[in-house]
Amino acid sequence: MRPPALLVFATRYDAVTRRTYAIAERLLADVEGLGVGSLALCEASATASELGAAIAKGPAVIAFYCHGDTQGRILSQDREPCWSSGNMPDLSGIAVFAHACRAICWLRVQAGELKARLLVGYQRDLITPANGSRRFWEVYEAVHCFVPRHLAAGDDEAWIRREFYEVCTRYEHELNGHQAGLVELIAVQQSRDDIAFV
């Protein structure tokens, strides 16, 4: 049996994770439409033990949609870190996308031990509007599906980086043209400018 190209890990237990869970659902639908194999660990399945078993199946890409804590550790459904410094998974050859706040700070420190081929994530807490418009949330989902979808499809990493910047910029101009709120515009700018590829 062929390993899944994409492993999606998504928690859902508060207002923020309900939003990020919606992004995970969209990503899974997108890759299914592309014919890309995927495996989902969602809600009760989004645990450290399930993650370890899923990593052993050899996915090419892991996409985390969950909270990060104050140290940037990626949290599971039980709100515990997905792994500890003494129990790190071997991510050899895997690309990791982590939507969780500050996750790249944690991942960058562990990069040598994790052995992932690519780490992608955010350096600061992500800003979102309290009352975003329907179009803003559609844009936000599209933005935060872009990188893992294209990684799972096997697209060139340099192209993904360049195109991600362009896509976010186009969405920002679109929202601005429709008199989007300032926080909506800042959220798209931050999504574009604070992402790190390691």
Please, which pLDDT band fits residue 3 given cuts at 50, 70 and 90?
confident
Q: Work out whether the CA dihedral 141, 147, 148, 150 comes out positive or negative.
A: positive
Per-residue pLDDT for 1 more than 70?
A: no
Q: Which CATH class is domain 6-197?
A: alpha beta
Per-residue pLDDT for 2 more than 80?
A: no
pLDDT one-digit tens code per residue, 85-142: 888 999 999 999 999 989 999 999 999 999 999 999 999 999 999 899 999 999 999 9
Distance CA 15, CA 177 (A): 28
Stretch 41-55: mean pLDDT: 96
pLDDT at 32: 94
pLDDT at 176: 96
The residues pairing with 81 across neighbouring beta strands, listed in sequence order, are 75
- DSSP-derived 3-state class of residue 63: strand
Per-residue pLDDT for 64 more than 80?
A: yes
Provide the 8-state DSSP code for 67: -
Residue 110: C-alpha distances to residues 2, 7, 46, 81, 103 (Å)? 28, 20, 21, 14, 11
Give residues with Cβ within 8 angstroms of 88, minimum separation 6: 110, 113, 114
Per-residue pLDDT for 63 more than 70?
A: yes
